[in-house]
Amino acid sequence: MLDIKFLRENPDAVKENIKKKFQDDKLPLVDEVIALDKERRESQREADDLKAARNALSKQIGALMKEGKKDEAEKVKAEVQADAEKLAALEAKQSELEEKVTKIMMVIPQMIDPSVPVGKDDSENVEIERFGEPVVPDFEIPYHTDIMERFNGIDLDAARRVAGNGFYYLMGDIARLHSAVIAYARDFMIGRGFTYCVPPFMIRSNVVTGVMSFAEMDAMMYKIEGEDLYLIGTSEHSMIGKFIDQIVEEDKLPYTLTSYSPCFRKEKGAHGVEERGVYRIHQFEKQEMIVVCKPEESPMWFDKLWQNTVDLFRSMDIPVRTLECCSGDLADLKVKSLDVEAWSPRQKKYFEVGSCSNLGDAQARRLKIRVNGKDGKYLAHTLNNTVVAPPRMLIAFLENNLQADGSVRIPEALRPYMGGQTEIR
């Protein structure tokens, strides 16, 4: 969410930012919120003047009573009562205007970083760099669920009977591989100095609206019926929410946390849930990383975060590339975002396995995460990135480590988590 003062002083820049995100329908909101904000501030000044006048009259009443001028004091009391009624009406109006301003400000997108390429959607994202050599073997790579089924490692039919599409049973070595990847990712991030955390898997609505846009919330979140609780779509939500309404000491920054959680998503929209595969599903597990830091340090942490994911995948012999998200592909709270994509030998192309985002002060402003600095209080910056998210990551792992005889090689880094196995058959 933008600072209303910034919007008030830079309306043209805000409008240009909206145009870069191809959200022209939001352009009228800028003038609308400026008018509402002006009315709100005028109402505030009128209320302040009334309060000052009421205080002066209250003192006058005391003086008149001391002088024995009871009738005059009663007249002044009547004026005070009338002012109190006006003040109550002004405060009600202020509250209504404040609500309208906040509602609009929650919809106007965050200012994107100048380095973000302008484009309408993800088809215009820009490749930045490749890591590792993409290889297409001289034998056929089956569809990922076919590979899993050869090991009796997945049962989609049973999951369909139990929960419907978008769920799965992982079994045997494939289930063990799934857990091994999560455990390895946890230790990998601890080794990089991050503090391990297992957060709540449900969060309240004020946290939901603090960490994401309304559009994302509608497309992703599952609501717990009858309670003010939502299932998390990623542990970033509860991890950033950990700092809600907090004033943190500047010398404690940065907070660097890595968290494990199951994730639950509706997957509404054009892509929808996969019936046969496990790429887009309702439930999965993930290792995440988040940073809460000083504003001037967030660009540096952005580069560190995506590099962590690249290094993790390369340690498992999976070629990856980084892709800069264009303006039209950025969620409204994001300042800058970069996707990490893994190589698929079967499809002969890359596909997304992680997303790194710098949200500037957008989440901190909504959640009131402030820093107590030597020169006063200011808003923190927040960032997040996927470490690894099986079973999507398993697709890349199985395809890139499949051998001609149908066995799957276990990279050296993962062997301690697989009981020393060098391959699965």
Last residue in a domain, options 105, 131, 164: 105
End-to-end CA distance of the chain: 51
Claim to verify: residue 77 and residue 156 sit in the same structural domain: no
pLDDT at 66: 67
**Taking 80 as the threshold, does the pLDDT of residue 228 lie above it?**
yes
What gap in Å lies between CA 65 and CA 128, rounded to an integer?
A: 79
Query: 159 or 220: whose pLDDT is higher?
Result: 159
169 within domain boundaries: yes
**Strand locations in 151-231, DSSP E?**
154-155, 169-170, 195-197, 202-203, 222-223, 230-231
Q: Using the predicted structure, report yes or no on whether residue 270 has a pLDDT greater than 60.
A: no
Give the C-alpha separation, 179 to 410, whole Å.
14
Which structural domain range is residue 16 located in? 4-105
**pLDDT tens-digit profile of 31-71?**
999 999 999 999 888 888 777 766 666 666 666 666 677 66
**Residue with token string 């800069």:** 324
* Domain identity same for 149 and 96: no
Last residue of a domain, one of 105, 133, 148: 105
Mean pLDDT across the stretch 221-225? 94
Same domain, 207 and 96: no
Of 54-63, 249-258, 280-289, the least confident: 54-63
Angle between helices 172-191 and 392-401 (to 10 degrees): 100
* Model pLDDT, residue 180: 97
pLDDT at 203 over 90: yes
Lowest pLDDT segment from 18-32, 245-259, 267-281, 409-423: 267-281
Residue 84 pLDDT exceeds 60: yes
Cα torsion for 125, 131, 136, 139, to the nearest 10°? -130
249: Cα within 13 Å, side-chain hemisphere: 2
* CA dist., res. 319 & res. 191, Å (int): 22
Cα 317 to Cα 134: distance, rounded to the nearest angstrom? 10
pLDDT digits (tens, 9 = 90+) for 133-157: 999 999 999 999 999 999 999 999 9
- Tell me what pLDDT residue 62 has: 65
Q: What is the pLDDT of residue 199?
A: 97
CATH number, domain with residue 62? 1.10.287.40
Percent of the chain having pLDDT more than 70? 91
Q: Which residue has the higher pLDDT, 191 or 72?
A: 191
- Asked whether the bond before 114 is cis by omega within 30 degrees of 0, the reply is no
271 and 317 together in one domain: yes
CB-CB neighbours of 170 under 10 Å: 20
Evaluate if residue 96 carries a pLDDT over 70. yes
Residue 247 within any structural domain of the chain = yes
Residue 354 falls inside a structural domain: yes
Coil, strand or helix at 201: coil
By the 8 A CB rule, do 273 and 369 touch? no
Q: From the CB of residue 274, how many other CB atoms can be counted at a distance below 10 Å?
A: 15
Question: Which residues have a Cβ under 8 Å from the Cβ of 108 and sit 6 or more positions away?
Answer: 1, 2, 7, 14, 18, 26, 29, 30, 33, 332
Beta bridge partners of 388: 287
Domain annotation covers residue 111:
no
Asked if residue 51 is part of any domain, the answer here is yes
Confidence of residue 80 (pLDDT cuts 50, 70, 90): low
Angle, CA of 380, 382 and 386, to the nearest 5° = 165
Mark whether 101 and 126 lie in a shared domain.
no
Q: Are residues 162 and 70 in the same domain?
A: no
Own/partner contacts of 90-99, CB < 8 Å, gap of 24 or more, are 90/43, 90/46, 90/47, 90/50, 91/47, 93/43, 94/40, 94/43, 94/44, 94/47, 97/36, 97/39, 97/40, 97/43, 98/40
3-state SS class at 86: helix
Same domain for 254 and 335?
Answer: yes
Examine the domain organization and report whether 164 and 294 are in the same domain.
yes
Q: Residue 216: what pLDDT?
A: 80
Say if residue 199 is in the same domain as residue 89. Answer: no
Contacts of 414 by beta carbon, 8 Å cutoff, 6+ apart? 180, 181, 184, 316
Tell me the pLDDT band of 217, cut-offs 50, 70 and 90: confident
- Average pLDDT along the chain: 92
Domain presence at residue 390: yes
- Stated pTM of the model: 0.89
Taking residues 15-32, report their average pLDDT.
97
For the chain, counts of helices (H) and of strands (E): 13, 18
- Where among 105, 139, 159 does a domain terminate? 105
CA separation for the pair 381, 360 (Å, rounded): 5
Distance CA 246, CA 243 (A): 5
| Angle, helices 298-315/172-191, rounded to nearest 10 degrees | 140
Q: Is the pLDDT of residue 275 over 90?
A: no
Element (H, E) at 344: strand 336-344
Instruction: Please state the length of the chain.
Output: 425
Q: Is residue 142 part of a domain?
A: yes
Q: Per-residue pLDDT averaged across 296-316, rounded?
A: 97
Residues 90 and 130 in one domain: no
Q: Which helix (H) or strand (E) holds 262?
A: strand 255-264
Domain co-membership, 399 together with 252: yes
Grade residue 269 by pLDDT with cuts at 50, 70 and 90.
low
Tokens of 384: 């997040």
Assign residue 134 the CATH number of its domain. Answer: 3.30.930.10
**What is the pLDDT, as a whole number, of residue 213?**
81
The mean pLDDT of 169-191, rounded to a whole number, is 97
Q: H or E stretch including 55? A: helix 27-66
* Domain count within the chain: 2
pLDDT value of residue 421: 96
In this structure, is residue 112 part of a structural domain? no
Per residue in 362-403, pLDDT (tens digit) is 999 999 999 999 999 999 999 999 999 988 899 999 999 999
Same domain, 93 and 131: no
